[in-house]
Amino acid sequence: MQFGPLPPRRSVPFRAPLMDSPALRWFTLLHNERPKSPGRGTVTTMRLAALAAASAILAGTAQAQTVSIGTSPVGSLNNSLGNALGKVVTDVGGLRARVVPFGGGQQFLPLIDKQELEMAIPASNDAVFAYRGEGDFKGNPSPGLRLLGAVFPFTIGWYVKKDSPYKSLTELKGKKIAVGFTANSAQRRVVQATMAAYAVNEADFDSVPVPHVVRGADDFMQGKVEASLFAVGAGKMAEVNAKVAVRFLSIPKTPEALAGLRKFLPISYIAELKPAPAFAGVNEPTNLLFEDYVVIAGAQMSDDSAYKIARILYESQDKLAAIAKTFERYNKADLASNRGVPYHPGAIRYYKEKGIWKGN
């Protein structure tokens, strides 16, 4: 009995990224094609040429490693910093960076530990809580987090309309303010910490729930709330200030206020911030919450990539600041400061070379 040919397969086989690449075509030439007329020496020469070309192409592919950077929502200071770092990493570091916005650190930090993201620039308290599995990360530690550098303190506070009569958050009792920040655990802790510093709580206000600070700013511009929370120097605050002139409220600088603050943010402090063109809403010396931003990667990041990014933080501060002015605020000598999470070996190697390594 004779059988006819099998019907063609309808399914499409999996194609790896290099299936249609020049490298594969060179390897096909190398292994499969046989010139009909040239002699053995010519064939050997062609094979060597094909191998060299394929190796060069594959080396180029390997060099174009993609580094994904998790950030808070578009419009936040954290997103601006991530975009700046991504551009400089791409332009200077020989890596290809991709910025991926999330609700906040509660979403993106565990993904770094799971090797689904490469890096982020979270608040130091968020990084420590995630690493240890405490706070909003309770029961879900991320032991694979590694520090690449401790950059600058960011400042955050409550703001109102510039011409409003309110001078303190306590004077807003019974008024509509933005609260909740359900999509961003770090922002929610800042609300709790600053309210503790003022010795008030959410029940004292007509609370309007929002998922994150960007929505709070939108509600403020639309007149839905009389106060909200944001980081000083963020692009969104410049937008808000252009539409509705704003003024940040000063936090009491007392031992009691600091103790209340540190119940929720143990690595934080209260300090005075002076007016500057980049600080929309800081119209006079104002006491605000300070907390450090840190650059975090996963333990899976190669030592070479971690070394390159540490070098960018140290040597390319001017390029970072040209994109996000807040990067002007860090001191390169403090990049290797201890912030409660172990440093990546690649970063340690670079900081030792520069003589600024302080130890984990």
- Kindly list the distances between the CA atom of residue 18 and the CA atoms of 24, 29, 61, in Å, as whole numbers in the listed order: 6, 15, 9
Percentages (nearest 5) of helix, strand, coil residues in the chain = 45, 20, 40
What pLDDT score was predicted for residue 63? Answer: 52
> Which amino acid is present at 288?
L
193, 162 Cβ separation under 8 angstroms: no
- Higher model confidence: residue 290 or residue 44? 290
Q: Convert the pLDDT of each residue in 190-224 to its tens digit.
A: 999 999 999 999 999 999 999 999 999 999 999 99
Does residue 146 surpass a pLDDT of 50? Answer: yes
What pLDDT score was predicted for residue 42? Answer: 43
Q: Convert the pLDDT of each residue in 297-340 to its tens digit.
A: 999 999 999 999 999 999 999 999 999 988 988 899 999 998 88
Q: Where in the chain is the domain with CATH 3.40.190.10?
A: 64-152+293-354, 154-291
3-state secondary structure of 180: strand
What pLDDT score was predicted for residue 64? Answer: 57
Q: Convert the pLDDT of each residue in 62-112 to its tens digit.
A: 455 889 999 999 988 899 999 999 999 999 998 999 999 998 898 999 999
3-state secondary structure of 178: strand
Indicate the CATH number of 154-291 among 3.40.50.970, 3.40.640.10, 3.40.190.10, 2.60.40.10.
3.40.190.10
Does residue 6 surpass a pLDDT of 80? Answer: no
215, 103 Cβ separation under 8 angstroms: no
Tell me how far apart the alpha carbons of residues 343 and 345 are, in angstroms, rounded to a whole number. 6
- Higher model confidence: residue 328 or residue 28? 328
Region for 228 from its dihedrals, namely left if φ exceeds 0, alpha if ψ lies in -120 to 50, beta otherwise:
beta
Tell me how far apart the alpha carbons of residues 201 and 197 are, in angstroms, rounded to a whole number. 10
- Higher model confidence: residue 136 or residue 45? 136
Q: Convert the pLDDT of each residue in 217-275 to its tens digit.
A: 999 999 999 999 999 988 899 999 999 999 999 999 999 999 999 999 988 999 999 99
Lowest mean pLDDT among 62-66, 170-174, 279-283, 317-321: 62-66
Q: What angle do CA 331, 132, 80 make, to 5 degrees?
A: 40
Q: What is the mean pLDDT of residues 287-297?
A: 95
Q: Provide CB contacts within 8 A for 161, sequence distance 6+.
A: 226, 244, 245, 246, 247
Q: Provide CB contacts within 8 A for 105, sequence distance 6+.
A: 72, 120, 122, 123, 126, 127, 130, 184, 185, 186
CATH class for the region spanning 64-152+293-354: alpha beta
What pLDDT score was predicted for residue 32? Answer: 42
Sole residue written with tokens 């540490």: 310
pLDDT tier, 358 (very low <50, low <70, confident <90, very high otherwise): confident
In which element (H, E) is residue 137 found?
none
